[in-house]
Structure 1
């Protein structure tokens, strides 16, 4: 009888521990991916979870010394920040100054050469975790309950498998939806689901559908050769048995896609794919006094907010002078985030800042338009606040993102290499003076806000769900053990202790 009581008390204590939160391990990431990750981690801490973030010794954005309410687990990598910056500059130079002047074959050769270099660096990062005995010892002794990862760097799936942890992924996309389709089994009929990076919409004629099929097929082949094959070999070496990385990724419990119907096109879904676009969005706060004074000086004309994101802080002198000349012709006041040399053609209506409170400016009543590089974070802030956009896409997913916004009637794009001061000026005037752009972006904003809970709360809910599912399954195994060894009455007694959790799982359909 004492043994039965002890088991019941032990399981009750486990239940109390789970209700207070779990121990969540977070895979390292970078750039805007980290910017999206941080608010989710802060909310997880608010909900009582203990969050530990793996952080490499070389990172452009992650900083373990900055104040935070989650913990860091640092690990050493055989690479420097300069190496990372050099790789990014290579990608940026290719995207800005080479791609527009290459044929498709030359673009593919260059792109996958950059991908191979990126893979070499990714493997060095992974070496710092799986080939470090002290780090692996800490992770195994950490008794984590769940692994949360943005899959831009490989290894998260391998560690989740080694530690026996449920896996939750947070991602914007993979090229041609390869990760989601091939590993997560998410349907993507090429007849109406445009491949990511194809610059196509869901309204395709026959030639565009054929192009979409070819894009899917070619990307699947190239990604298999340049990404999955080397990762499979690496994983097999670590585990000592043939291992498919894609199969490990496919075991993820929840896929949090950082998009939504305000941004994306209609497509088939699976129950474990959840759309949480706009995780970082929030209401605007009051502006700093100096900026507010400049904004108010704009009168009825209002202001234009201009930023090329956190990764592109300046452009060539010639391009900067051309942009400044275009902005000088606008009746609005312009706040431009720019760290380069002051352009000679800068107008009296334009002010340059090393940093601007972008979200707060976009939420200001006087903001008329947003000139953006087309990054997902900036686009979502514009949608959140209902601001029409002018896109100057630079690299990565940005051209594809702006295709989405143009198709939805919320933006006009100009090409970086071919824009003139007249084309940029006319684009800004169009989205401000043609009322349809404001109406369309307000429609997207209504879609964004018309949700039962905020994107951040929904992301945290599904992380909680994965953690509790794992705990619930563990409880069922324990209950079976108790029933076998101590009798059915003991199992029923313990089950009653868990009755609130059982009702919860029933209500959410588990």
Structure 2
């Protein structure tokens, strides 16, 4: 019984409010989602999204190649469409990485930079060409196309680092959600949002949002390389494909700009502030979760470190091994530490390996980063690892190898949460000095924990935001109302060149007319004076 009529009325009002909220909450019954992923670490975070979508009752189909080293053909979470071919993407990444490491250790020069740029563009072009062949194989198979059309998917989820998934989406006339940070020509924002080069550093430049005059010149030069890659290396591959399958054709940028939602794997705790668009949803750290208990043997090793704690080292999914002499020097430094070390290392064990160092083929990285015993993370600077370090508040010693890794680490270093040690400078003394600095200077831990606090202080979790917008696109069959009309404007209209020229012409006409009138009246006055003098 209620102690008073007021309490009974309050409960009734609360029940009515709860019922209203439940009835007005948008529902999204299990949708049918086609996923076109990218290999390597990109698949790692795509798989996290797939797991959550599966748990919410969605039906998921993943396109993969028969030679995929990461994407399993059979999974309880999804069905797969396997395209038979003999393409092994991992092979040419391995050879490029080996060449990149060798070039960095030999020292930087203009000739080395040009050679690396040429080889990089060649590798990127080959990757896109082979990926286009995979989708062409699908679209040329009439039975396969029929099955795809009859499946009646609600949307296509893809990673635009390889843009070919967007070609498939356009052919099937499906709404598109991008799981994105990188596109074929650099960072994703550059394709859809205003990006002034005066304070927005181009990918690969190694600059912050505070550039000197010389750095702004260099930033424009880096942008010109990106534009060359877009217009002459990658662009023609997609344009040929668009010409083949679409009457009106298309290009790589228009394909990107037609996407409904961009799930951006970044946020402004990590990245520098910049202009954005309403269909860009920031989900930086969406894959991060509280640390889970370690396996018993690993927990015993970690606890054996006592008050000194542990250091963990991992250089990501693409790096099989560093040069032997470098690993020997790193191992010798680890052997001197009072901390214990867990090192994800593939290949022959270093000859200088200490008793305090445990080599593993795989480690529960998220759980180790969140363990109270972990003191530092030696990492290559991949986006996933950096965001996990921010989430768990673990300071970073970064050894960037290629792609976006230096830029990622630079963002942490600028905030005092990481130290960068360039690969060319890695040796015993430099590695020891850098690691001891991260371990002993309390500012690194304080700054990364401040970033962690900022990252976690959000009204909605990044994963919940990602799921909401994915289901939003399913519910509304797209989100075209969030796309800017600027994408359909010619360059001279976008920059108001035509308006400026009209105003310039109008102003010039007014000035010219005024000048002519003044000249006319002046001459009239002069003629009148001359006539008066004659008389």
When the two structures are superposed, what TM-score results if normalisation uses the length of structure 1?
0.85
Once the two structures are superposed, the pairs formed by residues 41-440 of structure 1 within 5 Å of their partners are 41-65=50-74, 67-77=75-85, 79-80=86-87, 83-99=88-104, 100-103=107-110, 104-174=113-183, 177=186, 179-182=188-191, 185-440=192-447
Higher deviation after alignment, 320-329 or 154-163 = 154-163
Q: Is contact 2:181-2:187 (8 Å) kept? A: no
8 Å Cα contact 2:181/2:188 also seen in 1: no
Would the aligned equivalents of 1:306 and 1:372 in 2 still touch at CA under 8 Å?
A: yes
2: distance between equivalents of 1:156 and 1:18?
27
1:93, distance to aligned residue in structure 2 (A): 1.6
Aligned counterparts of 1:339 and 1:143: Cα–Cα separation in 2: 44
Distance 1:242 1:20, change over 3 A: closer
Q: Secondary structure at the match of 1:417?
A: helix
> Deviation digits for residues 14-62 of structure 1, max 9, x if unmatched?
xxx9732211111132111111011111211222221111121121211
Q: Paired residue for 1:482?
A: none
Residue by residue over 1:464-502, the C-alpha shift from the partner in whole angstroms, topping out at 9 and shown as x without a partner, is 1111122899xxxxxxxxxxxxxxxxxxxxxxxxxxxxx
Tell me how far apart the structure 2 counterparts of residues 446 and 175 of structure 1 sit (CA, whole Å). Answer: 33
Counterpart contact for 2:421–2:431, Cα < 8 Å: yes
Q: 1: distance between equivalents of 2:141 and 2:276?
A: 39
Q: Distance in 1 between matches of 2:479 and 2:408?
A: 40
**Match of 1:201, SS?**
coil
d(CA) in 1 for partners of 2:373, 2:433: 20
What SS does the aligned partner of 1:53 have?
strand
Whether the aligned pair in 1 keeps the contact of 2:94 and 2:318 (CA below 8 Å) is no
Q: Secondary structure at the match of 1:19?
A: coil
Change (3 A) 1:18 1:159: farther
Q: How much has 1:102 moved relative to structure 2? A: 4.6
Taking a change above 3 Å as real, the CA distance of residues 112 and 177 of structure 1, as seen in their structure-2 partners, is closer
Displacement of 1:347: 1.3
Question: Does the 8 Å contact 1:76/1:128 carry over to 2?
Answer: no
Question: How far apart, in 2, do the equivalents of 1:218 and 1:294 lie?
Answer: 48
Instruction: Answer yes or no: is the 8 Å Cα contact 2:187–2:203 preserved in 1.
Output: no
Q: Which residue of 2 aligns with 1:24?
A: 33
Q: Distance in 1 between matches of 2:172 and 2:351?
A: 58
Determine if contact 1:28/1:56 at 8 Å carries over to the other structure: no
Paired residues in the alignment total: 453
**TM superposition shift of 1:176:** 6.1
Q: Distance in 2 between matches of 1:311 and 1:62?
A: 15
Looking at structure 1, the residues matched to 456 and 196 of structure 2 have their Cα atoms a distance apart, in angstroms, of 28
> Larger C-alpha radius of gyration, 1 or 2?
2
**Aligned partner of residue 477 in structure 2, secondary structure:** helix
Q: 1:18 to 1:373 in 2, by over 3 A?
A: same
2:176·2:478 contact (CA, 8 Å) conserved in 1?
A: no
Secondary structure, aligned partner of 1:190: coil
Instruction: List aligned pairs for 1:445-484, cutoff 5 A.
Output: 445-470=452-477
The TM-score, its normalising length taken from structure 2, stands at 0.81
Q: 1:279 to 1:56 in 2, by over 3 A?
A: same
